[in-house]
Chains A and B, each alone.
Chain A
Amino acid sequence: MKIRKILFVLLIFFLVICCLPPLVLVVSSVSANWIYPSILPNDMTFSNIKYVFSNGEVFEAIYTTFLICVLSSLFCVFISFLTARVIVFYDFVGKKLIKVLVLLPLVVPSVTVVSTAHIFMIRTGIEGTIFGVSLIHCFFAIPYGVKILENHFLSVGDKYEVMSSNLGASEVYTLFKVTLPLALSPLCFVFFISATVSISQYITTLIIGGGSIKTLSTLLVPYVQYGEYEIASIYSLILILMSVVLYKILDRKGGRDV
């Protein structure tokens, strides 16, 4: 099996490359004077790390990123919960249209959405606020959220809720004691997926944030563009660390039954 061997070698090669980014970034973040043609940095220094953490900018950015993450994920969970329920349990005119609208954020270029929504956001005055940025981030996470919850509602069905109301429970009681506990695990999954979507957004934050909202990614890109690679590596590591933490939680919450 020649093809199998070739594929296997390629796969190993690919796996090795996959391991490289974190290593290279760690080395680069403590490197001094790493210039062509030395394979490893000539000197090691922690001054870059000290520099990054000595000004408050990075902590502010971490805080903002975190806040936007949580807010947009909460919006996303709330909206996709309702939308998925409607799509699964109700029949109405225009259901097809809703289904297409749900998938729209996956396909429409973010720049198109953002530069047009920008005008409206300025008019309503939520441009440049954390709320506005979270709304935009949430928009791009909606397709994932609705798809996941749709699958959940399809597999669970509404029998438990019907039974609960037949036994005399009020709607609110059913919601909190039956529907939400059943959907807890996929809801957590949606939360963390939309959080990962949120932390990697760049251009949306830049435009809607109007330059005053600084997240880790909007700080990172200029450092890369101006060639400050050591500092950019530190920011990248913080970003990766945040995604890893999210990914671990997501894995644990979602691994069970999604």
Chain B
Amino acid sequence: MLTPFLALVSFVVLFGVIEMVKESFGYIPFYDLNEVTLKYYKDVLLSEKFYTSLFYTFYLGIVPTILSVFFGVMFAILIYFNDKRYNSINKVLQIPIVIPYIVMSFFVIIMFSQTGIVSSVLTCCGLIDNPNDFPLLIFDEKGVGILIVYFLKQVPFVFFVVSLALRKINRNIVLVSRNLGASTMYTVFKIILPLIKNSIIVCIMLVFSFNFCSFEVPLMLGNPKYDTLPILSYNMVMDTNFSLRPSGMVINTLLFIISVVITVFVARRFENEN
């Protein structure tokens, strides 16, 4: 019964990985490269570009994760205390969920580029005189546009997951805590957060791993000077200059190892959850 799954995995991942590792050691008979060498690993690991990209990839992985999880959890707890508004807010927050990442990136370009809508509105209010006064948010070095896209898409996601966990909490526990004289803040930090800890951790891992390996959003909104690792490897592997291919495969191998490590952690968390 496992055959179809294993067939798919081996078809999609296993053969690819074998090929990838082979090519990363410089063994590509098709291009007359028959020597097994560590040269490409050395090249990549000694190049400055790799570390800039690695840093940038982790930056784009960690910062939006902290922001979205923080605000998602806060909003969910806020709504937990004002239960009446849950349904209407629920409806509005479904909008970003159904919008694909590509479309959301496009929306952010329309809104926040230097000649975008926000800039136009500010000009009409007389706050700025020309497009150059508007800060560069898209294609910039800090990736603000990318952060906005992740934020818009992931706050609702975290909100829904955490709300589900919150609804499972027995409300009497909260009432008892309030009754015994605990302040709201104390109740939130000592009662509610520990109870939903597991779903928050699952959220953090899912959101981080998505941000870490996302391709489309940095491609559409990122500064071409700063590539994330997936874009760097894509450019190298698909380059018309075949000599870059092994280096691209080295980056792929490293990315693969990083993500396998993350997966093992995620799997352990899921286990605890059940």
Contact = CB atoms under 8 A, between A and B. Distances in A.
Interface of A: 1, 3-4, 7-8, 10-11, 14-15, 17-22, 24-25, 28, 35-39, 75, 78-79, 82-83, 85-86, 96, 98-104, 106-113, 115-120, 135-136, 138-139, 142, 147, 154, 196, 199-200, 202-203, 207, 217, 220-221, 224-225, 229, 232-233, 236, 239-240, 243-244, 247
Output the residue of B249, B264, B271 with the most chain A CB within 10 A: B264
B102 A202 contact: yes
Given A120-B16, A135-B12, A108 B256 contact: yes
A247 B16 contact: no
Given A7-B78, A79-B8, A112-B230, A240 B106 contact: no
Contacts of B13: 104, 108, 113, 116-117
B263 A100 contact: yes
Contacts of B220: 221, 224-225
Interface string B105-127: 11101110001110111011000
A232 B96 contact: no
B78 A79 contact: no
Contacts of A207: 238
A21 B99 contact: yes
A239 B100 contact: yes
A17 B148 CA distance: 11
B4 A236 contact: no
Contacts of A11: 75, 78-79, 89
B161 interface: no
B94 A247 contact: yes
A8 B81 CA distance: 12
A108 B252 CA distance: 10
A225 B107 CA distance: 13
Nearest to A244: B98
Contacts of B116: 36
A168 B30 CA distance: 59
Contact of A116 (B19, B103, B106, B270): B19
B223 to A, nearest CB: 14
Main SS of chain B's interface residues?
Answer: helix
A-B pairs, 4 with minimum CB distance: A116-B16, A109-B213, A200-B100, A36-B115
Interface string B133-154: 0000000000000000000100
Contacts of A106: 206, 209-210, 263, 266
Contacts, number: 237
Given A11-B78, A35-B115, A101-B9, A116 B252 contact: yes
Given A18-B95, A135-B11, A112 B252 contact: yes
23 contacts: A10-B71, A18-B92, A18-B152, A24-B107, A35-B115, A37-B123, A82-B2, A96-B267, A104-B260, A107-B259, A107-B260, A110-B213, A111-B230, A112-B255, A115-B238, A116-B13, A118-B16, A119-B19, A135-B8, A221-B216, A224-B109, A240-B100, A247-B98
B234 A82 contact: no
B93 interface: yes
B96 A21 contact: yes
A153 B66 CA distance: 34
Contacts of A99: 267, 270-271
A199 B100 contact: yes
A80 B100 CA distance: 24
Contacts of A39: 117, 120-121, 124
Interface string B236-274: 011000000000110010011001101110110011001
